[in-house]
Amino acid sequence: MHIRRPQFFAFFLLVFLPVALMMWWSRPGAGASGSPTMAAVPAAMISEPTGTPTAPPATATATPSQTPSPTATATALPTATPRATSTTRPTNTATPLPSATPVDRACPDPRPEKPIYNRNYLGAAPWPTPDPAGFSPHFWFGPPLRTDDAIRLNSSYPYGYDGGERYLLHNGVDIAGGLGTPVLAVADGTVVVAQDDYGELYGWRCDWYGHLLVLELDEQWQGQPVYVLYGHVLNFMVAVGDHVTQGQPVVEVGVGGAATAPHLHLEVRLGGNEFTMTRNPALWLPPRGENGVIAGRLLDPAGHPWQGVQITAAGPSTYVTWSYLDDPLHFINPDDRLAENFVVGDVRPGRYRILLTVQGVAYEAFVEVEPGRVSTVEIVTAPFKTPTPRPPATATPAQTP
């Protein structure tokens, strides 16, 4: 059949042009120019072990003849000051149960200023001591995100640290997740908060989380209620009073409040739904696969904690963390039984050498990490050395010509 030119042109517009447009718009990235762009959590911030240890220099401390068990502790001795390992410890401080006093949610006016945190600093008060009854892991939680990969914590901003002076002291952990990723209930519980915090105080200041959801778990720990807070979230799927089950979608990853990029901020609060009652979530979220967790104590002989000290765990993989910082309101708390002041989470099994330097003296200790367990280690340093004051500089008298 012979098609005249006008008919052919109309046939092209009706058939071939729509097909070409559909192929154009279905290409990858088409139409994305109108969507908001958000910076993702950098890959370097996610907990991945490095291959080569970057540890402080080793000391001449003798290696124990037997590998410590996960529940045993090891005391590292400085080469400069040999001493006995037995020290007097203060009695364990029990966490008080919450009172019936109504919580003041009024926004502080003016907003609080960021404190100055002292690193490589010896705390003024003795640190709590471990419960002599021992410790049983409370890895109760299921994964807070449903992803194809395992949940990874931001290792550069762990609980009790300020990200190298960039942020406020961290009362939880951050988990990478794209905007709109469903967030799951980590355990069975009841929704007690599902709202914004623009006009009510749930964090360090108002508008700290943007939007938050808080669960009170069905199961208590040592007779105290356990709360789990999800911060910087959007699109609530549940309401206050709803009962949820582990793994149920409750909200989505968002961005707001103090967050600069989409991610999930997760807190564990023990005894009350207060910003001052948090615990380290790395001791509640199960480690990945066959991994374990190291919980340590870094103290002086009188039991005072060293704050903001960089700590390296070198073994089958290498991990870096920091001992807990403190602030004027003492927002950071250890586990009531472990009394730790540093945690290395999600550690591959094997024997690890714990390395650090305090006041120019290098220390080491050894710990064995076993799958699904919390391994403990304690390092007691030499007593604090008061810096020797330097005499004031004096002017050199001018020479007589």
Task: Please report, for the domain that includes residue 182, its CATH number.
Answer: 2.70.70.10
Q: Which of 235, 266, 285 delimits the end of a domain? A: 285
What pLDDT, on a 0 to 100 scale, did the predictor assign at position 25?
34
Same-domain status, 147 and 248? yes
Same-domain status, 273 and 290? no
* 163 lies in some domain: yes
Query: Residue 345 corresponds to which amino acid?
Result: G
Same-domain status, 170 and 223? yes
Same-domain status, 200 and 116? no
Same-domain status, 183 and 255? yes
Same-domain status, 234 and 308? no
Tell me the pLDDT tens digit for each residue of 189-198.
999 999 999 9
* 148 lies in some domain: yes
* 51 lies in some domain: no
Q: Which of 262, 285, 308 delimits the end of a domain? A: 285
What pLDDT, on a 0 to 100 scale, did the predictor assign at position 392?
67
Tell me the pLDDT tens digit for each residue of 105-148.
999 888 888 899 999 999 999 999 999 888 888 999 999 998 65
* 131 lies in some domain: yes
> Which residues constitute the domain of residue 158?
140-285
Q: Contact, 122 vs 300, CB < 8 A?
A: yes
What pLDDT, on a 0 to 100 scale, did the predictor assign at position 152?
75
Beta strand pairing call for 292-299 and 374-380? parallel
How far, CA to CA in Å, does 199 sit from each of 44, 107, 114, 264, 330? 35, 6, 20, 21, 24
Same-domain status, 206 and 279? yes
What pLDDT, on a 0 to 100 scale, did the predictor assign at position 21?
38
How far, CA to CA in Å, does 307 sit from each of 25, 73, 105, 267, 320? 56, 20, 30, 21, 15
Write down the pTM of the prediction: 0.76
* 9 lies in some domain: no
* 41 lies in some domain: no
* 27 lies in some domain: no
Query: Residue 384 corresponds to which amino acid?
Result: F
Same-domain status, 71 and 144? no
CA distance 368 to 285: 20
Closest to 168 in 3D by CA, of 313, 312, 265, 41:
265
Same-domain status, 149 and 276? yes
Same-domain status, 232 and 307? no
What pLDDT, on a 0 to 100 scale, did the predictor assign at position 317?
97
What pLDDT, on a 0 to 100 scale, did the predictor assign at position 337?
96
Low-confidence ranges of the chain (pLDDT < 50): 1-100, 398-401
Total domain count, the chain:
2
Same-domain status, 277 and 149? yes
Instruction: Please report, for the domain that includes residue 337, its CATH number.
Output: 2.60.40.1120
Same-domain status, 228 and 126? no
* 371 lies in some domain: yes
